[in-house]
Amino acid sequence: MTLQNPPGQPHFAYRGNELFCEEIRLSDLVRAHGTPLFVYSKSAMLAALAAYQRGFAGRNVQICYAMKANPALGVIQVFAEAGCGFDIVSGGDMDRVLAAGGRAEKIIFSGVGKTRAEMRRALRAGIGCFNVESEAELEVLSEVALSMGVAAPVSIRVNPNVDPKTHPYISTGLKDSKFGVAHERVLPTYQRAVKLAGVRVVGIDCHIGSQITQEGPYLDAVDRMLDLVEAIEAAGIPLHHIDFGGGLGIDYHGETPPDAGLLWQKLLARLDARGFGQRHLMIEPGRSLVGNAGVCLSEVLYLKPGEQKNFCIIDAAMNDLPRPAMYQAFHQIVPLNRRPGAPDTYDVVGPICESGDWIGHDRSLAVQPGDLLAVLSAGAYCMSMASNYNSRGRAAEILVDGAQAYVIRQRETIADQMQGESLVGQMPTTLFI
């Protein structure tokens, strides 16, 4: 029997009754590495990147992987070797990029709460640009840079008040968002920036949200950004680059986001029409590069029938897959080897002691204890937000490249979790009063 392949993830496909990632049978990886287990397809990542590259053919564009989507060193390495830059939001992010072979001059540092220590570390590393998110941050960054005898390269992140039509927790471009400088304050902020000796204006930045599945918000944001570029440069402040952020969605449950290449052809047409087509551009895709490149594999522990609900209890939980609990997000769930028989309807839940520990509601599955399931579209914002809640170790991660599988993160042990902790009295401290 040939089974329908998982939607949205062409690099994960059934051969006969068994689910493969590229050339590797996923059940073989479970036998070798256990569950829960994250598996990523290198080919899927590079195919997603290629869609952007096709859309930007012949243009001066730097693609910066937004690594908060998945910060595994092996994943960063894939994009570094493909020539990408990186969008970071912490000093730890920067350390990961550099450890994986990324180039400091291709790093852009976003985030609303950069500390002075992070600023100093980034300046010492020689990063390409700080995306400044407030006037207060601009002043502090200038002060820090001056103390080091350098000028920090900056762009101002604009909050354009554009509705991205996505979940409110991942909308970042509306006026009630904590992100960016309000549209009406952008020009005065640039005018202040050029008077500060510790900063050097190099660009302008905008990011309106995540999991965006319509092209309209992007087109609106482009128009508002170009209006600002014209106003800023009319005031005598040249901008070397324009950064349009990321946020393009993926297919989790039948969504139809625009193709990255076709979307950017439309956006570039807007830039051409207004005379900005040859500018140095930057974008910051994350989810759209890795989301559908990953799955989380899990074992069915128990089936628990009930009067109102049947529960399929698996060994993956909200600490491994936080998106359903955080955003009420949908992930397809499919068997690694579908068994014959009529399916039942289950809520698929984890073992954590929280009612919010669910992975999928009302799923039709023909399963028995010991069966293996794949939670799809798990490449983004799963392991990056994983935790040790209930003293659970974080899962192992595997990167598949054709017929080769590489362990890019070992399964976390309880000893790993407790490293750095101590009982009272074992590590005295001295208080200075």
Torsion of CA 58, 59, 60, 65, to 10 degrees: -100
From the list 366, 331, 371, 364, the residue with the least C-alpha distance to 345 is 364
Alpha-carbon gap, residue 153 to 107, rounded angstroms: 11
Which residue in 175, 202, 378, 211 sits closest to 285, CA to CA?
211
Tell me the two tokens of residue 388.
């040790």
At 269, list the tokens: 């047409």
Contacts of 433 (CB under 8 A, 6+ apart): none
Q: How many CB atoms lie within 10 A of CB 60?
A: 12
d(CA 313, CA 320): 14
Strands 24-25 and 18-21: antiparallel
Q: Which two tokens stand for residue 47?
A: 């195919």
Is 287 labeled as ligand-binding?
A: yes
Backbone angles phi, psi at 62, to 5 degrees: -110, 120
Give CA–CA dist 200/361, Å, rounded. Answer: 51
CB atoms within 10 A of CB 276: 18
Q: Which of 376, 104, 363, 408 is nearest to 250 (CA)?
A: 376
CA distance 70 to 77: 12
The answer to whether 395 and 384 have CB atoms below 8 angstroms apart is no
State yes or no: cis peptide before 160, omega within 30 of 0: no
Annotation-wise, does 346 bind a ligand? Answer: no
Q: Is 353 a catalytic residue?
A: yes
Amino acid identity at 423? L
Is 284 known as a binding-site position?
yes
CA–CA distance from 372 to each of 139, 162, 292, 305, 400 (Å)? 54, 42, 19, 19, 19
Which ranges constitute the DSSP H helices of 347-419? Answer: 414-418
Sign of CA pseudo-dihedral 175, 240, 264, 90: negative
- φ and ψ at 170, to 5 degrees? -120, 20
Q: Does 65 belong to an annotated binding site? A: no
Q: Determine whether the annotation assigns residue 285 to a binding site.
A: yes
* Phi, psi dihedral angles at 143 (to 5 degrees): -65, -45
Catalytic residue (one of 129, 312, 353, 382):
353
247 is in an annotated binding site: yes
Does the annotation place 354 within a ligand binding site? Answer: yes
Which residue do the tokens 């628990």 mark? Answer: 304
Residues that constitute the known binding site for pyridoxal 5'-phosphate: 247, 284-287, 381
Residues that constitute the known binding site for substrate: 287, 323, 327, 354, 381
Residues that constitute the known binding site: 247, 284-287, 323, 327, 354, 381
List, by residue number, the catalytic residues.
Answer: 353
